[in-house]
Chains A and B, each alone.
Chain A
Amino acid sequence: MSSIELVNLTKRFGDLVAVNELNLEIKDKEFVALLGPSGCGKTTTMNLIAGIENPDGGEVRFDGKNVGSVPLRKRGVGFVFQNYAIFTHMTTYKNLSFALEVRGLPRDEIDRRVHEIAKLLDLEDRLPVPAARLGVNEMQRLGIGRSAIANPQIFLLDEPLSNLDAAFRAVMRTELKHLQHQLGQTMVYVTHDQLEAMTMADRIAVMDMGVLQQYGTPLEVYNRPRNLFVARFMGSPSMNLLYCRLTESDGGRALDFDESGRVELHDEALLKQCASARNADLYFGMRPEDVELSPVTGDRGGLAMTVTFVEHIGARTIVHLRSAGHEVKAIERNDFDVDIGAPMEVSPKPGAGWLFDAATEIALGAG
């Protein structure tokens, strides 16, 4: 089995820096998702690991060894393409046996292993069928099986679920995770879908503009975003981010939201974050599910906002609120009853507010 280490990895395409000084360490048997919007460099990173692209700087190490000089076909990397790249001129059987045949394994062993993997992926009765006639869901499994049969130490998947219909995508999310446990391989998974990353990955590497934004467990990334990009990218609806200024008075610290109001800081977590503020210009962030709405009383110290829209999405209700220059979305129970135009007092749940430096965009206290 194999661990992966990326050291100062850099790749340029002309003037574009696709991957910039990337440092990432993936443990043996870990399932890591490379998450980011299109063009963030995640697929390039994957191609660099596989050896499809050569880096302009830095190293890719497997088990501590630089594999820069190891040619593509000797890297022992399983790769599932976004479009699966199935050999459509062959049968399902031949697709599965390909990797073993080119290694010159004996025929009976090939046959045994093909049936083994076909059984695992529920493709046994499709073996004699030309691969071109498989459904897209079957092709997806075949794409995985074709790589998995050679027992690669490292498995790379490039958005393998993006072509599937929504229902089957949910099924495959669980299946893939299950499969990874069974195969016991190190898996790197590229996706732009945060739900896929959250549900499957042991750790998520969030990327933007070729730069690693944050690397951590799904909950770390979700609960403790390191910067504004991650805060905006993770979660749906995404985190509410409100521009404010940190002010100090004899009574202590407060956040000034201009016309939306001024909030005295009593929450310990927020005070702790403020301690590391080097700048008065901040963004105040809170997850929609961490927003508390209450009738305006004036004594809770929240922001005064007006309900502009109520969105029923089934299990939950999203309440959109607005005040001068600020917008907030709050997730409430689906029986939450409020009229459009009603004034509300908005405040975060205790311990659920985050502050970001407006200039550097980095979370306060994140180092």
Chain B
Amino acid sequence: MSAPATTAKDAAGAVDLAARGRKLGLLMTLPAQLLLVFIFAFPALMQIYISLTWWTPGDGTIWIYAYESFVWFDNYVELITSERLWEPIGRTMLILIVVVPVEFVIGFGLAVLFVDSFPGKRVFYSILLTPMMVVPAVAGYMFFMLFQSNGPINQILSLLTGTDVELVWLGDTTLAMIAVMIADIWQWTPLMFLILLAGILGVPEDQLKAATLLGANWGQKFWRIVLPRMRTVIIIAIVIRAVEAFKLFDVMYVMTKGGPGVATETISIYIYKLFKQLEWSYLAAVDLSILIALSVIAVIGMTLMAKAKQKRAGDVVD
């Protein structure tokens, strides 16, 4: 661009160039955009379409002809009024509410222990992280074996109590739930531990030293320096685990298949069963509703967090 004066012709050329640039850009990103259409837009539209019908693959027609059984919002009305959906949601929430705090507390406790060095730290570190690496289906099978009536858990309990313990773990509605929770806690506490340890190690050592020199004891340092500085990491860890717990499927499916009866049927297992029963249009409606509900919750959550952050920044004395 050597000429400072811009003539009309130059301007036209520039516009032309910009338009060509846009066209080129579109061409370059076209494969990615097409891919996006096929993995997101197309399935989403298809799902909405099917969810408004009573179509099932059992009809013998392909999905395009689903309009033949078009029923508007019948599926949505059914999922709101039917208890069949609310029960698995309730169970999923129960698991989430129990499992996430337990994992958080244990994970945090372990993370605090791992700040200072001790003999064998690296070995214990590896051991602690192993459960996370185990394929969930394998973990499920492992716990399935452990919780058998004549399995190791009952044997250990017998030894400890001195009486013959013959709990039917996976056959009892309450015990099955507990067993599943234990499996999840075993497998996912390490992730919580890992994230929180990173958070603790991210607290500047100087500040802790300074706090000690200013007379703070262990607890004061924890509440006033470590915890506030870890706020973001803690939120991230809990959100990740909560989302994962909501989707809980594999361990549980291998251990109980949602049983006994529907005692441990989570939302994922319920959806899987609908799929197997070929109730695909209803399934589409359920799926879409959950997606929308979670999105709304996520947006509300993020707005609240942003507001809280704004409030903190504006606080005169926190």
Interface residues of A (CB under 8 A from B): 50, 52, 72-75, 77-79, 81, 83, 85-87, 89-91, 93-94, 98-99, 102-103, 128, 130, 146-147, 150
Question: In the complex the two chains form, is B215's CB within 8 Å of A128's CB?
Answer: no
- Which B residues from 196 to 255 make CB contacts under 8 A with A? 204, 206-207, 209-217, 220, 224-225, 228-229
14 A-B pairs with CB atoms under 8 Å apart are A50-B213, A73-B214, A73-B216, A83-B206, A85-B206, A89-B228, A90-B228, A90-B318, A91-B315, A93-B317, A99-B215, A102-B214, A102-B215, A147-B214
Given the complex of chains A and B, what is the CA–CA distance between A103 and B220 in angstroms?
10
Q: Which chain A residues border B217 with CB–CB below 8 Å?
A: 73, 102
Given the complex of chains A and B, what is the CA–CA distance between A72 and B229 in angstroms?
23
Q: Which chain A residues border B224 with CB–CB below 8 Å?
A: 87, 98, 102
CB distance from B310 to the nearest CB of A (A): 13
Q: Which chain B residues border A128 with CB–CB below 8 Å?
A: 316-317
Q: B313 contacts the other chain (Cβ, under 8 Å)?
A: yes
Given the complex of chains A and B, what is the CA–CA distance between A3 and B54 in angstroms?
89
Given the complex of chains A and B, what is the CA–CA distance between A72 and B211 in angstroms?
10
Partner of A103, one of B206, B215, B315: B215
Q: Given the known A-B contacts A87-B225, A94-B317, are A72 and B213 also in contact in the complex, defined by CB atoms under 8 Å? A: yes
Given the complex of chains A and B, what is the CA–CA distance between A175 and B91 in angstroms?
66
Question: In the complex the two chains form, is B206's CB within 8 Å of A94's CB?
Answer: no
Q: Which chain A residues border B207 with CB–CB below 8 Å?
A: 85-87
Q: Which chain A residues border B229 with CB–CB below 8 Å?
A: 89
Question: In the complex the two chains form, is A79's CB within 8 Å of B211's CB?
Answer: no
Partner of B209, one of A52, A74, A147: A52
Interface residues of B (CB under 8 A from A): 204, 206-207, 209-217, 220, 224-225, 228-229, 313, 315-318
* Chain A CB within 10 A, most for which of B206, B228, B229, B315: B206
Question: In the complex the two chains form, is B220's CB within 8 Å of A77's CB?
Answer: no
CB distance from B280 to the nearest CB of A (A): 51
Given the complex of chains A and B, what is the CA–CA distance between A83 and B206 in angstroms?
9
CB distance from A126 to the nearest CB of B (A): 12
Q: Given the known A-B contacts A73-B216, A90-B318, are A79 and B210 also in contact in the complex, defined by CB atoms under 8 Å? A: yes
Kindly report which residue of chain A lies nearest to residue B313, judged by CB atoms.
Answer: A130
Q: Given the known A-B contacts A85-B204, A85-B207, A128-B316, are A99 and B214 also in contact in the complex, defined by CB atoms under 8 Å? A: yes
Given the complex of chains A and B, what is the CA–CA distance between A77 and B214 in angstroms?
8
Given the complex of chains A and B, what is the CA–CA distance between A352 and B209 in angstroms?
47
Given the complex of chains A and B, what is the CA–CA distance between A50 and B212 in angstroms?
11
Given the complex of chains A and B, what is the CA–CA distance between A147 and B213 in angstroms?
8
Q: Which chain B residues border A99 with CB–CB below 8 Å?
A: 214-215
Question: In the complex the two chains form, is A146's CB within 8 Å of B318's CB?
Answer: no
Given the complex of chains A and B, what is the CA–CA distance between A93 and B215 in angstroms?
17
Q: Given the known A-B contacts A81-B206, A87-B207, A90-B318, are A98 and B216 also in contact in the complex, defined by CB atoms under 8 Å? A: yes
CB distance from B224 to the nearest CB of A (A): 7
Given the complex of chains A and B, what is the CA–CA distance between A94 and B217 in angstroms?
17
CB distance from B24 to the nearest CB of A (A): 44
* Chain A CB within 10 A, most for which of B204, B214, B217, B317: B214
* Chain A CB within 10 A, most for which of B206, B210, B216, B229: B210
Question: In the complex the two chains form, is A98's CB within 8 Å of B206's CB?
Answer: no
Question: In the complex the two chains form, is A72's CB within 8 Å of B214's CB?
Answer: no
**Known pairs A89-B225, A94-B317. 4 more at Cβ < 8 A?**
A73-B212, A73-B213, A130-B313, A150-B214
Kindly report which residue of chain B lies nearest to residue A71, judged by CB atoms.
Answer: B212
Q: Given the known A-B contacts A91-B318, A94-B318, are A150 and B215 also in contact in the complex, defined by CB atoms under 8 Å? A: yes
Q: Which chain A residues border B220 with CB–CB below 8 Å?
A: 102
Q: Which chain B residues border A79 with CB–CB below 8 Å?
A: 209-210, 213
Given the complex of chains A and B, what is the CA–CA distance between A87 and B225 in angstroms?
8
Given the complex of chains A and B, what is the CA–CA distance between A171 and B76 in angstroms?
74
Given the complex of chains A and B, what is the CA–CA distance between A95 and B316 in angstroms?
13
CB distance from B207 to the nearest CB of A (A): 5
Given the complex of chains A and B, what is the CA–CA distance between A118 and B46 in angstroms?
66
Given the complex of chains A and B, what is the CA–CA distance between A128 and B316 in angstroms?
5
Q: Given the known A-B contacts A85-B206, A87-B207, are A98 and B214 also in contact in the complex, defined by CB atoms under 8 Å? A: yes
* Chain B CB within 10 A, most for which of A52, A77, A98: A98
CB distance from B13 to the nearest CB of A (A): 48
Q: Which chain B residues border A81 with CB–CB below 8 Å?
A: 206, 209-210
Q: Which chain B residues border A90 with CB–CB below 8 Å?
A: 228, 318
Q: Which chain B residues border A77 with CB–CB below 8 Å?
A: 213
Q: Which chain B residues border A89 with CB–CB below 8 Å?
A: 225, 228-229
Partner of B212, one of A72, A87, A93, A147: A72
Kindly report which residue of chain B lies nearest to residue A72, judged by CB atoms.
Answer: B212
Given the complex of chains A and B, what is the CA–CA distance between A52 and B209 in angstroms?
8
CB distance from B292 to the nearest CB of A (A): 36
Given the complex of chains A and B, what is the CA–CA distance between A149 and B231 in angstroms?
28
Kindly report which residue of chain B lies nearest to residue A129, judged by CB atoms.
Answer: B316
Nearest 6 CB-CB pairings of A with B: A85-B206, A85-B210, A99-B214, A102-B216, A128-B316, A79-B213
Q: Which chain A residues border B212 with CB–CB below 8 Å?
A: 72-73
Kindly report which residue of chain A lies nearest to residue B203, judged by CB atoms.
Answer: A89
* Chain B CB within 10 A, most for which of A73, A94, A147: A73
Q: Which chain A residues border B318 with CB–CB below 8 Å?
A: 90-91, 94
CB distance from B302 to the nearest CB of A (A): 21
Given the complex of chains A and B, what is the CA–CA distance between A130 and B225 in angstroms?
15
Given the complex of chains A and B, what is the CA–CA distance between A75 and B317 in angstroms?
29
Kindly report which residue of chain A lies nearest to residue B228, judged by CB atoms.
Answer: A89
Given the complex of chains A and B, what is the CA–CA distance between A344 and B83 in angstroms?
108
Given the complex of chains A and B, what is the CA–CA distance between A87 and B209 in angstroms?
11
Q: Which chain A residues border B204 with CB–CB below 8 Å?
A: 85
